């Protein structure tokens, strides 16, 4: 059965008649009587069409005919604010206040003028003086307006205070519920938010936004189990509440419950527009479960939506590297580097892949690139020296070790590497002295030596020294 939209045509015809009568009035021709409401419609029409001179003319003619209409004075004041004639607007608003002090638009327009003039204190004073004079939706609207004033003024704690008052007055106000969620996180006032939303839920148990905000407050305090409980109530009330599934997925990831996270993020995908961050999060969950094929599938879906995000290509590469699929990892890393050439991490990873493939020239080239990008960072030097060591360039490795200590500082890992290089050169006595110093400085970093060359533990003298050191401890 088709719907009847004939009333829309009637409204359009009525407006067209009003505009024709107004044009006749402007031209000095005969016209029908135009009342206050008709003039308001005419002013609004020309304002919406950006015909400001005609809108202002309509307002002036209307006020000349109805000089005691506060509504028409407010219409003209609004037009003057739009054209940045703030003093004239304030003068009109003062006149309107003498006629009717019960129209909240009067105070909202005064606030707009003071904000435009960068007079935040006056804007706040106007609203603070009037809030207690109003009840119901009007009071809520003034509190929301005051919150916006404090936001513009960068008085962020007071923004939260206003939104809290608005919700204490009208607990189901959606605008206030949406806004306080952001400002709770921004100000860190999670405990207050928990108390407020618990009270709202006690009064209105089916308020899904209140449950959601309760969840985000718990999440802000890292109470992830409680956050998940609150989100589950939110989606029980509104099963298409996509943000609740999204946040619940994040909470499950924080708890390392990756299967649960995948389930709720898949639910998000069923009800909301696909997003790269959701696909990426699912990929992350599969990667943590060591299901690398599935991880790559979702990282690729994310990259189709965000083709210039180099991090996604890198994550695909890492998933290949975890399976020691070096050739495919190289392809993904080269894609990442096309987008971001200045990533030391991508260069190091490419160097590692080529090292595993035995391509010494390529490996060393990318390790050198990483060092050039981050010369004061230990890890790129570590990778370069490791590459030189693996490919047997021991003298060059010692030279680069000296350069590394000069640029990045004398770190324990370099002491271990020097020991390994000297032992590999047959300078066992000298190498053991460096190993002893390294063990004294940073015994926990011994694993760096073993990662560099597991075969070093086949040297009896090395094993004896490590054993002696452990006995001394």
What is the mean pLDDT of each successive set of 10 residues along the chain, which is 473 residues long?
Answer: 42 73 72 77 86 86 87 90 90 89 91 93 93 92 95 95 96 97 97 98 97 98 98 97 97 98 97 96 98 98 97 98 97 97 96 96 96 95 95 95 93 92 92 90 88 88 85 68
Given the structure tokens 């949406």, which residue do they identify? 178
- The first and second tokens of residue 447, run together, are 């694993």
Residue 9: the pLDDT is 46
d(CA 244, CA 221): 17
Give the CA angle between residues 136, 137, 138 to the nearest 5°: 90
Q: What share of the chain is helix, strand, coil (3-state, %, to 5)?
A: 80, 0, 20
- The first and second tokens of residue 468, run together, are 């002696």
Enumerate helices (H) and strands (E) in the chain, giving the number of each.
27, 0
DSSP for 352-417, written as a single string: HHHHHTT-HHHHHHHHHHHHHH-TT-HHHHHHHHHHHHHTT-HHHHHHHHHHHHHHH---HHHHHH
Residue 36: the pLDDT is 81
Residue 298: the pLDDT is 98
| Residue pair 388/360 in contact by the 8 Å Cβ criterion | no
Q: Is 148 helix (H, G, I), strand (E, B) or coil?
A: helix
DSSP 101: S
d(CA 410, CA 401): 10
Residue 7: the pLDDT is 35
- The first and second tokens of residue 382, run together, are 């570590």
Q: Secondary structure of 238-277 in the HEC alphabet? A: CCCCHHHHHHHHHHHHHCCCHHHHHHHHHHHHHHCCCCHH
| Residue pair 150/187 in contact by the 8 Å Cβ criterion | no
């Amino acid at each position: 059965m088709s719907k009847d939209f004939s009333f829309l045509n009637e409204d359009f015809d009525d407006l067209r008649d009003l505009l024709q009568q107004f044009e006749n009035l402007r031209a000095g021709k005969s016209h029908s009587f135009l009342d206050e409401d008709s003039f308001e419609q005419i002013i609004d029409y020309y304002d919406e069409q950006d015909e400001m001179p005609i809108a202002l003319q309509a307002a002036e003619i209307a006020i000349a005919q109805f000089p005691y209409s506060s509504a028409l004075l407010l219409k003209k004041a609004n037009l003057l604010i739009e054209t940045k004639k703030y003093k004239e607007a304030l003068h009109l608003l003062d006149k309107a206040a003498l006629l009717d002090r019960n129209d909240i638009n009067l105070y909202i327009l005064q606030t707009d003028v003071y904000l435009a003039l960068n007079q935040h204190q006056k804007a706040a004073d106007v609203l603070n003086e009037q809030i207690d004079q109003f009840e119901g939706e009007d009071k809520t609207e003034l509190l929301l307006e005051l919150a916006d004033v404090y936001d513009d003024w960068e008085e962020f704690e007071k923004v939260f205070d206003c939104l809290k008052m608005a919700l204490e007055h009208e607990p189901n106000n959606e605008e206030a519920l949406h806004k306080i969620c952001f400002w709770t996180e921004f100000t860190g006032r999670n405990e207050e938010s928990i108390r407020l939303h618990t009270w709202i839920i006690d009064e209105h148990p089916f308020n899904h936004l209140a449950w959601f905000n309760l969840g985000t407050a718990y999440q802000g305090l890292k109470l992830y189990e409680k956050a998940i409980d609150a989100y589950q109530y939110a989606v029980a009330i509104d099963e298409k509440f996509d943000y609740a599934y999204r946040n619940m997925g994040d909470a499950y990831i924080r708890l390392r419950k990756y299967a649960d996270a995948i389930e709720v993020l898949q639910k998000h995908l069923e009800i909301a527009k696909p997003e790269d961050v959701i696909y990426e999060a699912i990929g992350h969950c599969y990667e943590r479960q060591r299901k690398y094929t599935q991880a790559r599938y979702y990282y690729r879906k994310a990259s189709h939506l965000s083709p210039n995000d180099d991090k996604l290509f890198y994550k695909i590469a890492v998933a290949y590297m975890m399976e020691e699929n070096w050739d495919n990892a190289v392809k993904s890393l080269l894609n990442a580097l096309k987008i971001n050439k200045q990533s030391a991490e991508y260069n190091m990873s490419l160097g590692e892949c080529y090292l595993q493939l035995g391509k010494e020239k390529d490996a060393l080239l990318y390790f050198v690139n990483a060092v050039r990008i981050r010369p004061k960072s230990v890890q790129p030097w570590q990778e370069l020296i490791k590459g030189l060591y693996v490919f047997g360039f021991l003298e060059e490795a010692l030279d680069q070790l000296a350069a590394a200590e000069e640029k990045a500082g004398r770190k324990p890992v370099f002491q271990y590497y020097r020991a390994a290089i000297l032992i590999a050169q047959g300078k066992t006595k000298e190498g053991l002295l460096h190993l002893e110093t390294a063990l004294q400085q940073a015994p926990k970093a011994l694993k760096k030596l073993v990662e560099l060359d597991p075969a070093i533990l086949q040297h009896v003298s090395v094993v004896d020294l490590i054993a002696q050191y452990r006995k001394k401890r």
